[in-house]
């Protein structure tokens, strides 16, 4: 049976949970590329292309939060990022596996022999939603604009951008830069028209112009956003639906009711506790798409206890990940060892597992400078029930090795300020990847950027690790990068600057009339492929 | 707690007369005392009424429905809800009673000084009272909890900082009215010290108003603590507290309705007890 | 003191209160730890980007200068630009106020619908069983946390019986009526007990009043006396008392809007505190406080006009 790479997620129509399924894969010794074989078990699942797509209709999509912005260079939250990618396109796009990129607005590139000059060729015939053709000046404008935004670090190696002709863009880097093609799939580099067609930022983003499948029709902040079909979209015959309505419904139960009542076609993030009931609801399909999300908690190196390697390792050994996955995720997750998820390129399945083992944990704490334990805190955001519950499990786990944890809940903004200054003991963090190259996160996790670890600053400093991170960026050949990244994962796991918890999926629930909804691990929706039967 | 205006005062100073009338022990007073006695008794006797721990996790027993073994079932971490309900009351009731007591003392003292001395002290105090009463009290409480950081101490401070003004307002009004009464004027003419006049003559005669108000104030304070807990700004986990139990239970509303329902019921019952007691005290102090 | 002097005095006293409100509003939000630029740019923001935003928003200036700018703006009714939405804070607040106003009006109507029949029943059966039962309602109602009422209503009327939508705001008049029902009911269940209490006692007063006795003696039917005279007068004075509850009502909307995901002032307020959107938070707290001050003044003045017994001290 021919199952495309796009089928690389579990469609829950059978009682096989994602967790069992990942076990199956692991037992089979298959690497992640083998996951698609699972699709054969599912029989009549209507993958895109299996039936003739129908044109027309409005797709109602209920989301947890409103996007903060639709300016690609300013977006930081997932709702903004995924909305941006409905309106604009990047030069490259992430493959369904999340492990590499496919040509999108570009058709390909050449790399010079000194590895410093990248020549990208633009796809002919692409038009913006106002009907004007895409050319190289648009790309140059976009990248230069992105260099001033919060994600400028992605382009830190870029020296100069040339436009020898309308369909060619040449990017010069100051040193060899492996992640560049992947970086071109970053949402903050999504292509805007040159000089925003002479408009100011505010004017332009009230009526944005892009090459994406949809155009923004209206946006009532905090409530809903309506997108309609881009008549000039470069993919023939797409999108299938006439319009998309994004509803902002923060409350989980409400989104569920709206879905069950038929008011909503797709709902984001059904709570894990509801997944098993939803699966047995007729007319509703639950998807647990593979995601790049990696959950952990960081330990600030500004606190003396956490400078002690044995303390950090003891904590990792003391945490019962299976219990967290069972009680909080209701089984919908897998324990994590590497800070790369299996959905990241270069994931190393042989990363050492410092998992639940009370005996080893006690041995490690005995070796530390704090054999009798100590008092510390775990800071979570107020109202974050998921992390609040996890915190209580960790609290109980650490008590066993004599570490007395007090849970503190701060409002999210205060927590962010405390964490970014390193003024915390332990705090949860989640890392997701928006491109196919791990370099978006690695420097932040164990390199110099931002004090280390995704979103929880540990300020962990290891010169050896740092050297490897630089090497991974300055190397082009994938085989060599794989070796470096393997070593980074092993070294990080052994040093344990943060405790890896679990990998979790992107849960979605849809009406069974929704076809072709299939998102890559980075989470972009690709609604141009969706049709309603 | 909801600010003064949120609650019609059950009595005016005309109702609460000084002097020796016949005191009436109303059914309200008895019913209120009994309910409150039972609630407080249950909460204090928690260790005798349950063998479970309110905080220890028991993952294998997660989300069990009500049974003889677990009267109200268990939560997602396998903790017995009946146990958490009892121990949770300790937190809510302790904070509510102590915070109201502190507001009562502070507010009465300030109100008495302002009312008695008048002049610029009074003007200043009343402007502060006006400003605090002008804010929807929740906005102030939430903001204060944000400023002070999480924890029980912040909750105390936030509640007291917004609540004392009610007592100041009540007491000052009473004192201003009473200052003109003959017995006060006489005391002043006899050359008694200000403190003696205030403590011996004024406060005992106008305190009943504040006492009656304080009963409903405790109800509102419990609601405030519960709402803070519901918003995730209350007493940090794993300590059981009625508000956070409600918000934790909300996610299981379709499958385990009992988790969010019972913490609310106990709050309502406590409220009924306190309101009855408040009415009963008012009846008792009112001269037939 | 005449009424004119009284009103003038009250208006003058409002000035220091309003000034105090601006002080508390401004310094309260600036005392809260947390940086709007970090919230906006995410935790990965570079110090350079954060500093640039601070400059753009004027947050790098000393506090007293920012306060002065805030003060000089409000005088012109301008609260500045929302840091988060980049739109006029005044516009955002006004749009959200409409939702909240609708919620409050709807809730007041519902609570009258609930309270009036009960109060009439109690007042006409004074000290009998019906009266005792009605008098017990405020005891129960007063102690109900609104978050809990909301959950229970969602459970009973939304999830179990699918009678009403449980969150969000639907379009159109019917849509509003439908989707605002549960939130308004939640809020009204908080108000109704107070209303029952005051309606009952003012109805009883009205029955004893001269004009009702006169109407009765003129041979006007009992039900007509009730409707034409007693109820109308009592309702007016009870709603007046409700006016005094405005601060309480607004506090209630804060929780209700959060639970039901309504885009009103309460929800905007909570979200803006979380985002440290200073201009919006300052605007809302100031306007809310102003609304409370003005409503209190308004009710007092109206009361003094309606009730000639009021003396001006």
In tens, the pLDDT along A312-321 reads 999 999 999 9
Contact B276, B25 (CB under 8 A): no
Contact B238, B76 (CB under 8 A): no
Strand duo A294-299 + A426-431: pairing: antiparallel
Order of strands, edge to edge, in the sheet holding A375-381? Answer: A334-335, A498-503, A294-299, A426-431, A375-381, A404-410
pLDDT score recorded for residue B199: 82
Q: Which residue of A has its CA nearest to C272?
A: A413
Helix, strand, coil percentages for chain B (3-state, nearest 5): 70, 0, 30
Check A261 against C34: CB less than 8 A apart: no
Contact A218, A225 (CB under 8 A): yes
Q: Does the pLDDT at position A47 exceed 80?
A: no
Q: What backbone torsions phi and psi does residue A60 show, to the nearest 5 degrees?
A: -100, 125
Per-residue pLDDT of B2-20, as tens digits, reads 333 333 344 444 444 444 4
Maximum C-alpha span of chain B: 76
> Exposure string (b/e) for C166-195, b if CB count within 10 Å is 16 or more?
bbbbeeeeeeeeebbbbbbbbbbbbbbbbb
Q: Where are the beta strands (DSSP E) in chain B?
A: none
Check A444 against C275: CB less than 8 A apart: no
Does the beta carbon of B224 lie under 8 angstroms from any beta carbon of chain C? no
Check B149 against A411: CB less than 8 A apart: no
| % of chain A at pLDDT higher than 90 | 65
Q: Where are the beta strands (DSSP E) in A323-366?
A: 334-335
Structure tokens at A404: 């007395």
Helix axis angle, A358-367 to A309-318, nearest 10°: 160
Per-residue pLDDT of A471-523, as tens digits, reads 999 999 999 999 999 999 999 999 999 999 999 999 999 999 999 999 999 99
Residues of chain B predicted below pLDDT 50: 1-20, 288
Q: Does the pLDDT at position A202 exceed 60?
A: yes
Order of strands, edge to edge, in the sheet holding A106-111? Answer: A106-111, A117-122, A168-173, A158-165
Per-residue pLDDT of A69-91, as tens digits, reads 899 988 888 899 999 999 999 99
Q: In 3D, which of A47, A94, A3 has the Cα closest to residue A343?
A: A94
Show the 3-state SS of A156-186.
CCEEEEEEEECCEEEEEECCCCCCHHHHCCC
Q: Does the pLDDT at position A29 exceed 60?
A: no
> Taking all residues of chain A, what is their mean pLDDT, rounded to a whole number?
86
pLDDT score recorded for residue A143: 95
pLDDT score recorded for residue C227: 66
Structure tokens at C301: 């003045």
DSSP string, A62-101: EESS--S---GGG--SHHHHHHHHHH---SEEE-TTSSSE
Structure tokens at A398: 């650490």
Place of tokens 């302002």: B114
How many Cβ contacts (< 8 angstroms) between chains B and C? 152
Report the C-alpha gap between B171 and B165 in whole angstroms: 10
Nearby residues of A86 by Cβ (< 8 Å), 6 or more positions away: A212, A213, A214, A227, A244, A525, A527
Report the C-alpha gap between A489 and A345 in whole angstroms: 12
Helix axis angle, B137-148 to C246-260, nearest 10°: 60
Instruction: Give the closest-approach CA distance of C176 to chain A in angstroms.
Output: 14
Q: Does the pLDDT at position A294 exceed 90?
A: yes
> Taking all residues of chain B, what is their mean pLDDT, rounded to a whole number?
84
Report the C-alpha gap between B205 and B97 in whole angstroms: 23
Burial class (CB in 10 A: 0-12, 13-18, 19+), C128: exposed
> Exposure string (b/e) for B107-133, b if CB count within 10 Å is 16 or more?
bbbbbbbbbbeeeeebeebbbbbbbbb
Q: What backbone torsions phi and psi does residue A284 show, to the nearest 5 degrees?
A: -120, 140
Query: Which chains contact B through at least 3 pairs of Cβ atoms less than 8 Å apart?
Result: A, C
User: What pLDDT tens digit does each residue of chain C (313 aa) get?
Assistant: 677 787 888 788 888 888 888 888 888 888 877 778 877 776 666 777 788 888 888 888 888 888 998 888 888 888 888 887 778 889 889 988 898 989 988 998 999 999 989 988 888 888 888 888 888 888 888 788 888 888 888 888 876 676 776 666 666 777 777 888 889 999 998 888 888 888 888 888 777 766 666 766 776 666 666 666 677 777 777 776 676 666 677 778 888 887 777 888 888 887 788 778 888 888 888 888 888 888 777 777 776 666 555 555 4
CB nearest to A254's CB, from C261, C271, C274: C261
pLDDT score recorded for residue C120: 87
Per-residue pLDDT of A423-469, as tens digits, reads 999 999 888 899 989 988 888 888 776 655 555 688 888 889 989 99
Contact A129, A209 (CB under 8 A): yes
| B positions 168-197 inside 8 Å of C (CB) | none
Check A76 against C44: CB less than 8 A apart: yes
Does the beta carbon of C269 lie under 8 angstroms from any beta carbon of chain A? no
| B chain contacts of residue C155, beta-carbon cutoff 8 Å | 253, 257, 260-261
pLDDT score recorded for residue A5: 34
Q: In 3D, which of A290, A371, A372 has the Cα closest to residue A334?
A: A290
Strand duo A284-289 + A506-511: pairing: antiparallel
Q: Which residue of B has its CA nearest to A256?
A: B254
Check B236 against A408: CB less than 8 A apart: yes
Q: Does the pLDDT at position A20 exceed 70?
A: no
Q: Which residue of C has its CA nearest to B256?
A: C155
| C chain contacts of residue A250, beta-carbon cutoff 8 Å | 261
DSSP string, A393-410: HHHHHHHTTT-EEEEEEE
Does the beta carbon of C167 lie under 8 angstroms from any beta carbon of chain A? yes
Q: In 3D, which of A79, A33, A81 has the Cα closest to residue A343?
A: A33
Per-residue pLDDT of C261-298, as tens digits, reads 788 888 888 778 877 888 888 888 888 888 888 877 77
Strand duo A375-381 + A404-410: pairing: parallel
Report the C-alpha gap between B255 and B22 in whole angstroms: 55
Q: Does the pLDDT at position A15 exceed 70?
A: no
Q: Is residue C125 classed as helix, strand or coil in its secondary structure?
A: coil
Check B227 against C152: CB less than 8 A apart: no
| % of chain A at pLDDT higher than 70 | 89
Q: Is residue B8 classed as helix, strand or coil in its secondary structure?
A: coil
Per-residue pLDDT of A144-170, as tens digits, reads 999 887 778 888 899 999 999 999 999
Count the neighbouring beta carbons within 10 Å of the beta carbon of residue A333. Answer: 25
pLDDT score recorded for residue A289: 94
Per-residue pLDDT of A369-406, as tens digits, reads 999 999 999 999 887 888 999 999 999 999 999 999 99
Report the C-alpha gap between B121 and B178 in whole angstroms: 18
Check C288 against B139: CB less than 8 A apart: yes
Type and span of the H or E element at B131: helix B119-134
Check B150 against A388: CB less than 8 A apart: no
Nearby residues of B101 by Cβ (< 8 Å), 6 or more positions away: none
Burial class (CB in 10 A: 0-12, 13-18, 19+), C130: middle
Instruction: Give the closest-approach CA distance of B229 to chain A in angstroms.
Output: 9
How many Cβ contacts (< 8 angstroms) between chains A and C? 88
- A380 versus A411: the higher-pLDDT residue is A380
Check B253 against C154: CB less than 8 A apart: yes
In chain B, the N- to C-terminal Cα span, in Å, equals: 30
Q: Is residue A185 classed as helix, strand or coil in its secondary structure?
A: coil
Contact B213, B124 (CB under 8 A): no
Q: In 3D, which of A344, A290, A292 has the Cα closest to residue A11?
A: A290
Count the neighbouring beta carbons within 10 Å of the beta carbon of residue A283. Answer: 11
pLDDT score recorded for residue C221: 66
Query: Which chains contact C through at least 3 pairs of Cβ atoms less than 8 Å apart?
Result: A, B
């Amino acid at each position: 049976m021919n199952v495309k790479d796009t089928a690389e997620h579990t469609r829950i129509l059978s009682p096989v949970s994602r967790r069992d399924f990942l076990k199956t894969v692991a037992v089979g010794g298959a690497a992640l590329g083998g996951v698609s074989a699972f699709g054969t078990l599912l029989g009549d699942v209507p993958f895109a292309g299996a039936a003739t797509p129908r044109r027309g209709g409005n797709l109602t999509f209920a989301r947890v939060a409103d996007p903060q912005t639709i300016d690609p260079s300013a977006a930081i939250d997932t709702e903004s990022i995924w909305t941006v990618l409905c309106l604009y396109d990047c030069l490259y796009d992430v493959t369904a596996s999340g492990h590499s990129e496919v040509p999108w607005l570009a058709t390909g590139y050449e790399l010079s022999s000194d590895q410093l000059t990248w020549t990208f060729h633009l796809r002919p015939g692409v038009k913006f939603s106002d009907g004007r053709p895409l050319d190289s000046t648009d790309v140059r404008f976009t990248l230069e604009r992105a260099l001033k935004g919060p994600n400028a670090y992605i382009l830190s190696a870029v020296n100069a951008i040339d436009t020898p002709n309308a369909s060619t863009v040449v990017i010069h880097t100051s040193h060899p830069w492996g992640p560049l093609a992947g970086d071109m799939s970053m949402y903050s580099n999504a292509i805007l028209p040159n000089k925003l067609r002479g408009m100011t930022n505010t004017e332009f983003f009230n009526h944005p112009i892009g090459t994406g499948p949809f155009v923004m029709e209206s946006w009532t902040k905090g409530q809903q956003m309506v997108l309609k079909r881009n008549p000039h979209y470069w993919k023939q015959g797409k999108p299938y639906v006439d319009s998309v309505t994004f509803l902002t419904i923060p409350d989980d139960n409400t989104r569920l009711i709206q879905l069950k009542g038929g008011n909503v076609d797709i709902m984001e993030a059904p709570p894990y506790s509801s997944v098993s009931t939803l699966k047995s609801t007729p007319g509703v399909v639950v998807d647990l798409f593979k995601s790049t999300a990696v959950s952990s908690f960081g330990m600030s190196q500004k606190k003396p206890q956490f400078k002690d390697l044995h303390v950090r390792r003891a904590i990792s050994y003391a945490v019962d990940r299976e219990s967290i996955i069972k009680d909080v995720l209701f089984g919908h997750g897998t324990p994590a060892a590497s800070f790369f998820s299996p959905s990241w390129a270069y994931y190393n399945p042989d990363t050492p597992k410092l998992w639940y083992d009370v005996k080893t944990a006690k041995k490690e704490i005995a070796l530390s400078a704090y054999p009798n334990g100590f008092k510390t805190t775990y800071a979570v955001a107020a109202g974050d029930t998921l992390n609040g519950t996890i915190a209580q499990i960790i609290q109980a786990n650490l008590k066993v090795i004599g570490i007395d944890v007090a849970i503190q809940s701060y409002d999210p903004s205060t927590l962010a300020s405390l964490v970014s200054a390193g003024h915390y003991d332990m705090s949860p963090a989640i890392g997701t990847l928006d491109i196919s190259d791990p370099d978006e996160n690695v420097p932040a996790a164990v390199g110099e950027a931002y004090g280390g670890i995704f979103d929880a600053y540990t300020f962990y400093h290891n010169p050896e690790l740092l050297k490897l991170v630089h090497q991974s960026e300055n190397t082009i050949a994938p085989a060599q990068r794989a070796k470096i990244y393997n070593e980074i994962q092993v070294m990080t796991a052994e040093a344990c600057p943060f405790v890896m918890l679990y990998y979790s999926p992107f849960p979605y629930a849809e009406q069974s009339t929704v076809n072709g909804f299939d998102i890559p691990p980075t989470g972009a929706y690709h609604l141009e492929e969706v049709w309603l039967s | 707690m909801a600010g003064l205006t949120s609650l019609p005062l059950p009595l005016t100073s005309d109702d609460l007369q000084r002097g020796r009338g016949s005191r009436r022990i109303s059914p309200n007073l008895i019913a209120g005392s009994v309910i409150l006695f039972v609630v407080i008794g249950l909460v204090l006797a928690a260790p005798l009424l349950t063998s479970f721990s309110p905080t220890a996790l028991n993952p294998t027993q997660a989300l069990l429905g009500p049974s003889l073994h677990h009267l109200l079932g268990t939560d997602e971490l396998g903790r017995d809800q009946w146990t958490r309900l009892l121990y949770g009351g300790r937190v809510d009731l302790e904070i509510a009673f102590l915070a109201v007591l502190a507001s009562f003392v502070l507010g009465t003292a300030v109100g008495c000084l302002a009312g008695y001395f008048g002049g610029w002290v009074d003007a200043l105090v009343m402007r502060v009272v006006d400003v605090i009463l002008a804010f929807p009290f929740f906005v102030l409480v939430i903001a204060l909890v944000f400023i002070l950081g999480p924890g029980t101490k912040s909750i105390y401070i936030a509640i007291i900082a917004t609540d004392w003004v009610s007592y100041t307002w009540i007491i000052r009004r009473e004192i201003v009215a009473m200052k003109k009464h003959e017995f006060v004027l006489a005391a002043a003419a006899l050359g008694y010290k200000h403190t003696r006049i205030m403590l011996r003559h004024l406060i005992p005669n106008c305190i009943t108003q504040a006492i009656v108000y304080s009963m409903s104030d405790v109800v509102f304070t419990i609601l405030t603590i519960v709402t803070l807990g519901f918003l995730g700004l209350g007493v940090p986990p794993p300590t059981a507290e009625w508000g956070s139990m409600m918000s934790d239970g909300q996610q299981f509303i379709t499958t385990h309705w009992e988790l969010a329902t019972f913490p609310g019921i106990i709050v309502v019952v406590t409220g009924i007890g306190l309101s009855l007691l408040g009415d009963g005290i008012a009846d008792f102090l009112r001269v037939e | 003191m005449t009424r004119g002097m009284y009103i003038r005095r009250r208006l003058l006293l409002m000035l220091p209160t309003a000034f105090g409100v601006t002080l508390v509003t401004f310094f309260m939000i600036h005392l809260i730890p947390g940086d709007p630029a970090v919230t906006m740019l995410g935790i990965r923001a570079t110090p350079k980007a954060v500093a640039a935003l601070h400059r753009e928003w004027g947050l790098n200036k000393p506090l007293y200068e920012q306060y002065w700018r805030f003060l000089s703006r409000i005088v012109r009714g301008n609260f500045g630009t929302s840091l988060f939405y980049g739109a006029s804070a005044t516009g955002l607040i006004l749009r959200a106020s409409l939702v909240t106003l609708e919620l409050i009006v709807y809730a007041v109507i519902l609570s009258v619908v609930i309270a009036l029949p009960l109060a009439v029943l109690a007042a006409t059966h004074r000290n009998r069983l019906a009266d005792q039962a009605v008098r017990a309602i405020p005891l129960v109602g007063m102690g109900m946390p609104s978050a809990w009422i909301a959950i229970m209503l969602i459970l009973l009327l939304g999830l179990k019986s699918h009678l009403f939508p449980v969150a969000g705001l639907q379009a159109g008049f019917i849509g509003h009526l439908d989707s605002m029902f549960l939130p308004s009911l939640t809020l009204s269940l908080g108000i109704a007990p107070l209303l029952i209490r005051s309606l009952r006692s003012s109805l009883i007063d009205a029955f004893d009043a001269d004009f009702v006795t006169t109407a009765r003696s003129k041979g006007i039917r009992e039900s007509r006396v009730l409707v034409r005279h007693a109820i109308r007068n009592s309702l007016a004075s009870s709603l007046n008392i409700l006016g005094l509850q405005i601060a309480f009502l607004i506090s209630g909307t804060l929780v209700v809007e959060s639970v039901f995901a309504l885009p009103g002032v309460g929800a905007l307020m909570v979200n803006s505190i979380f985002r440290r959107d200073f201009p919006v938070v300052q605007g809302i707290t100031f306007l809310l406080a102003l609304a409370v001050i003005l409503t209190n003044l308004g009710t007092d003045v109206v009361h003094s006009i309606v009730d000639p017994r009021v003396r001006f001290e």
